[in-house]
Amino acid sequence: MDYANAPVLWAAEFILKIKYLIYWTCLNLGLPGGATIPSAPITLISAGGHEQDARQRKLEEAKGVAEVETGGEAVAARWVSLGGTYSSDGLGGIEVLVHMPRSSHGWRCIIDSNNMKLRRKETIHNPASKVR
């Protein structure tokens, strides 16, 4: 079980119980619309930003790995396919472009998103440096 999402799951379960209670109260009192209580709060809570945050953290971690492996400056990172899928659940990878100062070439590193290890390193034309 993923305990990082436990508060979100608990809140969603709580809202479902409240919805159920309101539905039966409306039904028993004969009020219309008991079954039409909106589920937008549940959707908003369960959607959260946890997965997106985790994917962004993985990109930043991959940039760090590429910088250590090449000694350059990571300028860009994006998800790429390893084995036919773009997901970060085991078969996905991260492509990192690395700028090498005082050099005519840079690196394209492919980092495995499962174990954050360098999978492939290719020489490319030096990408533009980040402006700070």
Segment 12-28 shows an average pLDDT of 73
Q: Which of 9, 8, 10, 36 is nearest to 22 (CA)?
A: 36
Given a contact cutoff of 8 angstroms between Cβ atoms, the answer to whether 95 and 120 are in contact is no
Domain borders along the chain are 3-48, 51-125
Tens digit of each residue's pLDDT (9 = 90 or more) over 102-126 = 889 999 999 988 888 998 999 999 8
Tell me, what's the pLDDT at 1?
44
Residue 103, SS3 per DSSP:
coil
Tell me, what's the pLDDT at 13?
73
Q: What's the whole-number average pLDDT of the chain?
A: 76
Q: Is the pTM of this model over 0.85?
A: no
Could you write out the DSSP letters of every residue in 31-90? -TTTT----HHHHHHHH-SHHHHHHHHHHHHHHHHHHHHHSSEEEEEEEEESSS---SSS
pLDDT-derived band at 131 (thresholds 50, 70, 90) equals low
Tell me, what's the pLDDT at 76?
93
**Whether residue 52 has pLDDT greater than 80:** no
Tens digit of each residue's pLDDT (9 = 90 or more) over 53-94 = 888 889 999 999 999 999 999 999 999 887 665 544 555 889
Tell me, what's the pLDDT at 31?
67
Task: Find all residues with CB under 8 Å of 6, minimum gap 6, and list them.
Answer: none
Given a contact cutoff of 8 angstroms between Cβ atoms, the answer to whether 81 and 92 are in contact is yes
Segment 22-34 shows an average pLDDT of 67
CATH class name, domain 51-125: alpha beta
